[in-house]
Structure 1
């Protein structure tokens, strides 16, 4: 390519002065054909030549393999990904690759950039790409113990495939929200690359003026643990996650109406996995493919699960009242008399409230209460105190909760026996339930009113495998034994033998 000044000179000398090609070429030190080309050229539009792709017999056969490895590795943390050198070694070991490591490194470097560019485009909002999900809560009526109640359910949907999962919970609080997401991730065996949320309080602490979100500490740690990218709708813009909102209605109408009878939420939720997966055996409303088949693309695009599950718990320090109760969400939980008017550490999950001491040793565990102004009482930590006032036993709810055998036993006890029995229960109920303890009472009572010490001995015989021994079944009859007689005649016979 000649310089612009040279081209202008050629065109001026030839076209304006009618100069000779050879003479001009001689003056410029150029080939006459070059002079003629630029003198006669009419089109000077910028020409962009396509990049030539030369066939590469050695690399072409392994490029799909490397692409698959790169896509697999993008689901992992960077420290767990293969290097280009390791890929080259694998190609040599597994596919008898003959190319150089430099060739593989160049291809991996360029292909990574291309794939990362595609990945960034795939994460654009509202693009129905595999591996992107949306989340929202819905509500439905249920029947529990003869009453009509309303419970929330968490839905995670995949707009690309139109697949979904859902789980029912007692509340929309932070612990239920995170527990639901965690269950879905571990059930399907992967984590969506991006998840779009509403500005629900379990995740968003504050919406900032510049459009960013201040996340709750628990949700922020959850996001970091599972590695997905979270997106949030603009305030009052639920249409930005329209797919999951439509799926919330679909789930309610097709699976939760009319009202289901609920005895155990965990058992119900196990059944709901199957219902959601069975629903995929129908065609997508637009793509004319089975949802189950499209969902495999969603699954392949998901991130790999971390090695450990996230513990969906939080801790609070609360002050107990004079009876040893702490208040959480307007409900009361018993601790221990020794914590009266003191601060205690509480570990909170979606279904449990654990009372801990400073070194995180468990004092007592409660099922979490939902609703308001309810009370959960665990009597075991209070029994040593009750043993000092045994006559008050009959006026406590603990007495009403006792198995009938123990109520009968306490009715026959003296004051001192009641005290000793309460101390024994206070010790045993730390690690055992009433079934084994009542079994020990029944065995010890076979010959009348037992002492507390005998109940204790029988109990430890039972748990150590030395409770009721099996009867011996003798197959052969024992030989008849001579009748034993008393008297000195036996000695007379012995002396006669000595003589």
Structure 2
């Protein structure tokens, strides 16, 4: 038996108080499309404007219902897309991570193949140019090939300018990467993240599934090893709407990937600059030391994700761990030793030596040399430290311990002992044969000597504890 039809509205509902103002609301909503998304009208704000500017006498609820309906109708619609094998998308996301007990805002590079949904992710302290380049190197190595094309947004690390004809002028670093691997680059519309919706969704998936709860690792290397393992494990999953696993579908992607280059791209940011009067080179707001011999000279800087390399002409002159702080000073104390040998008066206040973690025998040698020889002793200590320009600290440390044990306190003795260790021969350091070498004689203090010192001071203690001052 046929059921009777339900109630059907014959026309749109009548809203006598709101209908005269719907055109104004529509105009406000149309203008909001070009406004900053954080400065668009809320329903409450539209109601207030209708009331204050146009004399609206109705309630807020009816305005809110109308705005909700119009906003829904204005939402953009999308066409489902199919993706050919070998096409990739890349982007960066952000998430907090705890490295060695310190919370960092990590920036993770994601490369995704929409055809198979295979992904790769690697995290960095910052989304810099060198991070983009290094992320490509690691992703291509992970997938064992280079995609035919990669879709990006218009990140400033990749795109220097968008020309009037909508073509992109690439940055120098990204042009070098593309020329090295020979893939095609494609770009979404500015501000339209949905143009590369697959990788945008993958960024969110990785943040929710790989980084909740907040990851805790001892190093960035350990964190990235865990992320790579998760990417491999995910390839065994069968996603909704598919009968094959991600790994099985990626076979079709891998068949059209280009072969890797024999050598990966040199993933670094390159700059030219000059060494200042304090033998420092500025890179990304931080100052890094170089040997004082290169003061005031033109140098080049290569900024890698975890290192900063500085060179002059064809020579590498300094290599430092990368700092992501602001206005930081990164010293290598050895760079300043030749200058301290000349300006030995600055030894005790030299900032590059502050916090230099040397074994305690170094401080003992310094104290003995300075006590015996004064300013010349300071200079000999700097000369001993300069042996680190050639020899490992372990070899020098052992030589200093030998010198202290033998009582041979001097640069020549320490250098002789270092060479003996390097050449694996016994030292021939007979202090009777080399009388010019300073010797330290340490003996047990006798009671007689102690009493003599007190008598010279004019004061001797009696056995009962009373003090008697000697006659003048």
2 CA distance for matches of 1:329 and 1:374? 10
Runs of 5+ unmatched residues, structure 1: 1-124, 469-499
1 CA distance for matches of 2:417 and 2:203? 57
Partner of 2:191: 236
Contact 1:393 1:399 in 2 (8 A): no
Q: 1:467 to 1:246 in 2, by over 3 A?
A: farther
Partner of 1:101: none
Output the TM-score relative to the length of structure 2: 0.68
Partner of 1:363: 317
Residue of structure 1 aligned with 2:145, choices 187, 190, 201: 190
Matched, 1:326 2:285: no
Contact 2:129 2:269 in 1 (8 A): no
Partner of 1:405: 361
Q: 1:430 to 1:363 in 2, by over 3 A?
A: farther
Partner of 1:379: 333
Deviation of the 1:182 alpha carbon: 0.5
1 CA distance for matches of 2:109 and 2:81? 20
1 CA distance for matches of 2:120 and 2:173? 22
3-state SS of 1:312 partner? coil
Q: 1:455 to 1:202 in 2, by over 3 A?
A: same
Residue of structure 2 aligned with 1:422, choices 382, 405, 409: 382
3-state SS of 1:301 partner? coil
Residue of structure 2 aligned with 1:147, choices 78, 81, 102: 102
RMSD (Å), alpha carbons = 2.1
Partner of 1:283: 238
Q: 1:230 to 1:419 in 2, by over 3 A?
A: same
Matched, 1:448 2:407: yes
Matched, 1:392 2:341: no
3-state SS of 1:210 partner? coil
Contact 1:421 1:452 in 2 (8 A): yes
Runs of 5+ unmatched residues, structure 2: 1-79, 428-472
Report the number of matched residues.
342
Partner of 2:218: 263
Residue of structure 2 aligned with 1:130, choices 85, 100, 119: 85
2 CA distance for matches of 1:326 and 1:243? 42
3-state SS of 2:255 partner? helix
3-state SS of 1:179 partner? helix
Contact 1:141 1:150 in 2 (8 A): yes
3-state SS of 1:177 partner? helix
1 CA distance for matches of 2:82 and 2:392? 55
Output the TM-score relative to the length of structure 1: 0.65
Contact 2:114 2:198 in 1 (8 A): yes
Q: Show CA shifts across 1:135-174 (max 9, x none).
A: 0000110123543221101010111111101001111111
Contact 2:133 2:268 in 1 (8 A): no
Residue of structure 2 aligned with 1:304, choices 259, 262, 272: 259
Contact 2:99 2:219 in 1 (8 A): no
Matched, 1:171 2:104: no
Matched, 1:350 2:309: no
1 CA distance for matches of 2:424 and 2:154? 57
Query: Which structure: greater helix fraction?
Result: 1
2 CA distance for matches of 1:258 and 1:467? 59
Q: Show CA shifts across 1:268-318 (max 9, x none).
A: 222322111011111022212111111222222211111222111243221
Q: Show CA shifts across 1:411-459 (max 9, x none).
A: 1113323313323433x33354423321222233222253222222222
Deviation of the 1:180 alpha carbon: 1.0
